[in-house]
Amino acid sequence: MTYAPLIDPFARPIDYLRVSVTDRCDFRCTYCMAEHMQFLPKKELLTLEELDRLCSAFVELGVKKLRITGGEPLVRRDIMTFFRAMSRHLESGALRELTLTTNGSQLGRFAADLHALGMRRINVSLDTLDADKFAQITRWGRLEQVKEGLEAAKRAGLKVKINTVALKGFNEDELFPLIDWCANEGHDLTFIEVMPMGEMGDDLRLDQYWPLSDLRKRLAERFTLTELAESTGGPARYVRLEETGQKIGFITPLTHNFCENCNRVRVTCTGELFMCLGQEDNADLRAPLRASADDAALIEAIRGAIARKPKGHDFDYSRQTVSGRMTRHMSHTGG
């Protein structure tokens, strides 16, 4: 059966789905989750079979790009079963891209298999190249393990984009070392402003907030920045550093509202569909999934949710308060 594509109330086609497959992670990054997280009971999570049905329904509705997130997606038991199931949509041509956001810790185990089933590029979250600072911000992570994973990804033929959260007083002094390292390794690099997600304390958020407008000014002191028109379907805006040829991305939810061309929605590991990262409105897709083996109710629930997709989010750090703050952790919604 052929379905009409998903179009939101502002005439934006929705062709990019981000799906969290777990709220669990082997790190406890300070801006993402609390050190002693209470994770969800297994029965609340979508099974791998339910994730297959859900993602396949979105593909039938015109989704062309599928990004798997977490928590850390590669710590979910038997996750490669799900990736292999999704690869059939790549083979059929229905899905243009299957990709992954990871902390890199498990790439040594899985990079070759991911490439073999059709994945060609991945995003790896990495905020520092200093082993001690890495241990501090991830609480449980080891930088060497991530670097070994990145080497495995390169050997497998996976293109890597490094995602770095800009954190005032933490990695400001690593701006140029990060750029140099990515140039040497052949990785693209995107900087992200810290977002007001989770009950981490307003003071912490404001202390960490390093506006990318300031970061760009520092870059411009050393490099010639040329704006690029290209987009990878996400919220990043890109420049080229003329002296090195590198492509550098900026995701600026706080200093620049990137919503006007939003083509994406997110599904949590419990089956909640969030039409906007910065809004609380969501739709329960787990109930229709579990109520019937037929997908008609699921399709109807998806369409009803897309009809409520807002024009934009409400993140704002003006006047030294955090307004538009989301109480759910990033690990719940999916990074």
In a domain, 11, yes or no: no
In a domain, 1, yes or no: no
Q: Are 334 and 268 in contact (CB under 8 A)?
A: yes
CA-CA-CA-CA torsion sign (84, 107, 185, 161): positive
Q: How confident is the model at residue 175 (pLDDT cuts 50, 70, 90)?
A: very high
In a domain, 6, yes or no: no
pLDDT tens-digit series, residues 43-71: 999 999 999 999 999 999 999 999 999 99
Higher pLDDT: 33 or 72? It is: 72
CA-CA-CA-CA torsion sign (295, 86, 269, 61): negative
In a domain, 200, yes or no: yes
Residue numbers in the known binding site for S-adenosyl-L-methionine are: 31, 71, 125, 195
Residue numbers in the known binding site for [4Fe-4S] cluster are: 25, 29, 32, 259, 262, 276
Which range of residues forms the domain containing residue 140?
16-333
**238 SS3 class:** strand
In a domain, 268, yes or no: yes
Taking the CA atoms of residue 247, residue 248, residue 253 and residue 259 in that order, the dihedral angle to the nearest 10 degrees is: -10
d(CA 18, CA 66): 6
| CATH number, domain containing residue 99 | 3.20.20.70
Residue numbers in the known binding site are: 18, 25, 29, 31-32, 67, 71, 101, 125, 161, 195, 259, 262, 264-266, 276
In a domain, 10, yes or no: no
pTM: 0.89
Number of domains in the chain: 1
In a domain, 255, yes or no: yes
Residue 202 has pLDDT above 60, yes or no: no
Residue showing tokens 């709220």: 23
In a domain, 151, yes or no: yes
